[in-house]
Chains A and B, each alone.
Chain A
Amino acid sequence: MNITWTATATHTYLATPSINQRCFVPCFVSYFCYRSAATPAPHPAQPASASAAPPALLFVPATDCPPTSPPTRDGLQVFSPTGVDVPPSPSDRAAFWNHHLAATRPDKIQVKFKNGRIRTYEMTFEPRKPVVAARQMRRRIGYASAAVTRILGLEPELIRAAMDDICRRAMHCGCVAVAPTVPLSALPVRLQTQFIIDNNVSGALFQKLRLLLWPAAGLASRERLRADRALAEAEEPHVAGTNGGGAYLLSPRAALQATFDHAVSKKQFLERLLRGADGREIQVTTSFSWEDSPATLPPPGVPDVQICFGLDKGGVRSTCKAVISSCNQEHPSSRGNTVLYGVFPTAKDDHDALAAMASV
């Protein structure tokens, strides 16, 4: 995805690219400073008297920003933002604003010039590689808007605007926007548990969010989450044990079976054929019988699943993680597609330590 800032200029005589490019940065700066000056908030390290004092003035020319230069022809004046007591040096200024704008990412910025003209800057996303054609995209948005309108009973224009925004953001991050076709009163508790674990969200933070959004939003209470997590931990693919030196899954076979079942149910299971010495794929010709080989290598030409087993060292704590993944999926090395088999002490290059690890 290619992110570009485009100016939807109200006045066409200023809309040539070179002028836009020149004017954009000072206008952006002036707008941001105007906003920050209009809503002053005391900096924690700043005394109350200092925050109450009027901010220092800083003039920004159209092209460059030397501190002592005169004001621009438009008379733009830049106020020192809250928390910055001295004007930053010219070299640091652009980096400072860029950092702030990248952190806040405002969707739309309006700059009012002294002559009363208003110019709007809006961030637009241009997909570098659209998944579908524009006509099909419009049809999909229309279909999704109609479906969501039926569920929520809101104004079609409001829904369309929301769907446009959702699709734009999804295209930006390379995801797929999904609209529900039936009303959902609440997210499933298991999904919430999975979200908490996947994103390392603490229980306290989740409950704060729940109280913020009201319990009617459908977020589960602490007790329900605990009960669901206990249920999940007791399921065979998730049961873990310890041996004093590490923690590991008691049934990696069940975990892998669950992974494959999930992939098959979602139609994400990919056949990976074995390759011969000449690089050609060996087609499946015979069925596999259990009597063939519990201990020896399965012969080529039988249907198989390919499983990777490996160790990775790293993380906040110095540990090594035994990871299992399946090659029969599109992104085998993606973290979400792997199974954490166990967490062990970090000595993974010592044969005795590995032997103790392998004994589980």
Chain B
Amino acid sequence: MHGTRRAVRLILTGDVRFISTWVGHGGPSSTHPCVWCSVVLRRTRSNGARVHSWGDIEAGSQAGGTLRTLEEYERASTRFTETGNARRENPLTVEDHLSIVNRPLLLIDPAHIAPAPPHLTLGKTMSVLWLGIEAVYFYNGLPLAHVYAQNLAHLLRDGNGVHPAPYCGGSLEGRACNKICERLGLVSSLLSKYAPAAASTRYSAACDPWQAVLPVLNRTSAATTNEVAAFQRDTARFVDKMTGAFP
């Protein structure tokens, strides 16, 4: 570049399942589901010590996991050169491999793994809407949840101006997520008619941080230091409130 040699920093992107497979990780449903840290999927009656050591993903921002390093993946690359952990004669235990069960196809620093923005914006927005439907189902049963889902669809279409878009038509996401996010208060108001007031209040409080997080995820301009700090704070608030509202 300009006659000078530059270093190349490779960033792995895509959906989480692809990223997991590419780095030899067992996937989001394995015991240690995260490719960035070592948190445990869920606390059971027998894994208290492991959760204490490696962190609890359900604790939100207080998960307390240990960040994975490039050396960890390099070690897995050495271990599983011939075959994956499942086909080894003496398979390693979970404590040994921490859910990295195959040879990484690419050695990459975990800090350079970034999910594709649509999988974050679209996936999380859909999850927020789904959680509302599940809340109605939990409190009032399937028939009312069905009615709520239909009314939610009407609300998104008529109130938020969101129209269904085909994936292959080149309009995968557009501004639909942003439109939904801007008026999440409408969704909370609708939920308050179908779920107990306490639940809808918690849901509304959990949605507020997402309104601050989402516009940052799909913008292209560089962020300032203050924006980075605000983003970290808002994501922690979002996760904590969501896990608090939907334990």
Q: Could you tell me the distance between the alpha carbons of A257 and B168 in the complex, rounded to whole angstroms? A: 30
Instruction: Give 24 pairs: A residue, B residue, CB < 8 Å, sorted on A.
Output: A264-B1, A269-B1, A278-B225, A288-B6, A297-B70, A297-B109, A298-B8, A303-B1, A303-B4, A303-B6, A305-B7, A306-B9, A307-B9, A308-B114, A309-B11, A311-B18, A312-B14, A327-B11, A331-B220, A333-B116, A333-B117, A333-B220, A354-B21, A354-B105
Question: B9 near A351 (CB under 8 angstroms)?
Answer: no
Question: A310 near B70 (CB under 8 angstroms)?
Answer: no
Residues A304 and B2 in contact in the complex (CB < 8 Å), given A275-B228, A279-B229: no
Question: B22 near A354 (CB under 8 angstroms)?
Answer: yes
**Chain A hits for B9, CB < 8 A:** 274, 298, 304-307
* B83-126 with Cβ < 8 A to chain A: 84, 102-103, 105-106, 109, 114, 116-117
What number of B residues sit within 8 Å (CB to CB) of A? Answer: 36
Question: B12 near A309 (CB under 8 angstroms)?
Answer: yes
Q: A293 at interface (Cβ–Cβ under 8 A)?
A: yes
Q: B65 at interface (Cβ–Cβ under 8 A)?
A: no
**Chain A hits for B165, CB < 8 A:** none
Nearest A residue to B226, CB-CB: A279
* A305-325 with Cβ < 8 A to chain B: 305-312, 314-316
Q: Could you tell me the distance between the alpha carbons of A355 and B117 in the complex, rounded to whole angstroms? A: 25
Nearest A residue to B13, CB-CB: A310
Q: Could you tell me the distance between the alpha carbons of A260 and B102 in the complex, rounded to whole angstroms? A: 34
Q: Could you tell me the distance between the alpha carbons of A287 and B18 in the complex, rounded to whole angstroms? A: 34
**Chain B hits for A272, CB < 8 A:** 222
- Inter-chain contact count A-B, CB under 8 Å? 95
Choose from B2, B5, B117, B229 the contact partner of A264 (Cβ within 8 Å). B2
Q: Could you tell me the distance between the alpha carbons of A278 and B4 in the complex, rounded to whole angstroms? A: 29
What number of A residues sit within 8 Å (CB to CB) of B? Answer: 43
Question: B102 near A351 (CB under 8 angstroms)?
Answer: yes
Question: A304 near B7 (CB under 8 angstroms)?
Answer: yes
Contact mask for chain A residues 284-305; partner B; CB cutoff 8 A; 1 contact, 0 none: 0001111011000110001111
Question: A311 near B11 (CB under 8 angstroms)?
Answer: no
Q: A246 at interface (Cβ–Cβ under 8 A)?
A: no
4 tightest A-B CB contacts, nearest first: A298-B7, A279-B228, A310-B13, A310-B14
What's the minimum C-beta distance from B101 to chain A, rounded to whole angstroms? 9
Contact mask for chain A residues 47-89; partner B; CB cutoff 8 A; 1 contact, 0 none: 0000000000000000000000000000000000000000000
Q: A330 at interface (Cβ–Cβ under 8 A)?
A: yes
Q: Could you tell me the distance between the alpha carbons of A303 and B7 in the complex, rounded to whole angstroms? A: 6
Q: Could you tell me the distance between the alpha carbons of A309 and B84 in the complex, rounded to whole angstroms? A: 24
Contact mask for chain B residues 218-232; partner A; CB cutoff 8 A; 1 contact, 0 none: 001010010011001
Q: Could you tell me the distance between the alpha carbons of A314 and B229 in the complex, rounded to whole angstroms? A: 35
Q: Could you tell me the distance between the alpha carbons of A287 and B8 in the complex, rounded to whole angstroms? A: 13
Residue from B5, B103, B229 having most chain A Cβ neighbours under 10 A: B5
**Chain B hits for A290, CB < 8 A:** 5
Q: Could you tell me the distance between the alpha carbons of A311 and B17 in the complex, rounded to whole angstroms? A: 11
Question: A308 near B7 (CB under 8 angstroms)?
Answer: no
What's the minimum C-beta distance from A297 to chain B, rounded to whole angstroms? 6
Choose from A287, A302, A331, A355 the contact partner of B105 (Cβ within 8 Å). A355
What's the minimum C-beta distance from B27 to chain A, rounded to whole angstroms? 8
Q: A332 at interface (Cβ–Cβ under 8 A)?
A: yes
Q: Could you tell me the distance between the alpha carbons of A121 and B21 in the complex, rounded to whole angstroms? A: 59
What's the minimum C-beta distance from A117 to chain B, rounded to whole angstroms? 38
Q: B10 at interface (Cβ–Cβ under 8 A)?
A: yes
Q: Could you tell me the distance between the alpha carbons of A274 and B6 in the complex, rounded to whole angstroms? A: 13
Question: B220 near A306 (CB under 8 angstroms)?
Answer: no
Q: Could you tell me the distance between the alpha carbons of A21 and B167 in the complex, rounded to whole angstroms? A: 37
Question: B1 near A311 (CB under 8 angstroms)?
Answer: no
Choose from A275, A288, A297, A310 the contact partner of B5 (Cβ within 8 Å). A288
Choose from B6, B10, B18, B105 the contact partner of A349 (Cβ within 8 Å). B18
Q: Could you tell me the distance between the alpha carbons of A298 and B1 in the complex, rounded to whole angstroms? A: 16
Question: B21 near A350 (CB under 8 angstroms)?
Answer: yes
Question: B12 near A310 (CB under 8 angstroms)?
Answer: yes
Contact mask for chain B residues 1-41; partner A; CB cutoff 8 A; 1 contact, 0 none: 11011111111111001100110100000000000000000
Question: A260 near B1 (CB under 8 angstroms)?
Answer: yes
Residues A309 and B222 in contact in the complex (CB < 8 Å), given A349-B18, A351-B102, A355-B105: no
Nearest A residue to B170, CB-CB: A335
Q: Could you tell me the distance between the alpha carbons of A297 and B116 in the complex, rounded to whole angstroms? A: 22
What's the minimum C-beta distance from A329 to chain B, rounded to whole angstroms? 9
